[in-house]
Amino acid sequence: MIIYGTDYTPGEHTPYDVSLDRMVALSGSASFLGRQQLVATAAAPPNRLKTLRFEGTELPEVGAPVLVDGVEVGRLSSRVISPRFGAIGLAMLETDASADGTIVEVPLGAGTVRATVDVLGIKDPNKLRPRS
């Protein structure tokens, strides 16, 4: 779940930053304020909101930097211990570092914890579970 004001800040993030591309219809002829900027952003989104699967059971602090080879590529926006998925979090990552399977590190105590980048909706990413 994307938490409004935590994982997504209106006026600061676009739908592309929070990986909600499918919710924006730019193919039609409708004109609206900000359309040109959204078209430009859609062509090369600078950021992506992704799930991080942490190794172990300790969680880093919200707001901690996410690192690839010691270089900051994003920030952890929320985290939780899930009964089903273990230690997970959401992070806004630079698009170049957001590919599924990318290994990142997040500061934790005096060291770091490794995490793997995964799809945003890890529960049912392909929407295959029946709903009633």
pTM of the model: 0.81
**Structural domains in the chain?**
47-118 (2.40.30.110)
**How crowded is residue 104: how many other Cβ atoms within 10 Å of its Cβ?**
25
**How crowded is residue 69: how many other Cβ atoms within 10 Å of its Cβ?**
9
pLDDT digit string (tens) for 85-113? 999 999 999 999 999 999 999 999 899 99
Rg of the chain on CA atoms, in Å: 16
Distance CA 78, CA 90 (A): 5
Does residue 84 surpass a pLDDT of 70?
yes
Does residue 30 surpass a pLDDT of 80?
no
Percentage of the chain exceeding pLDDT 90: 48
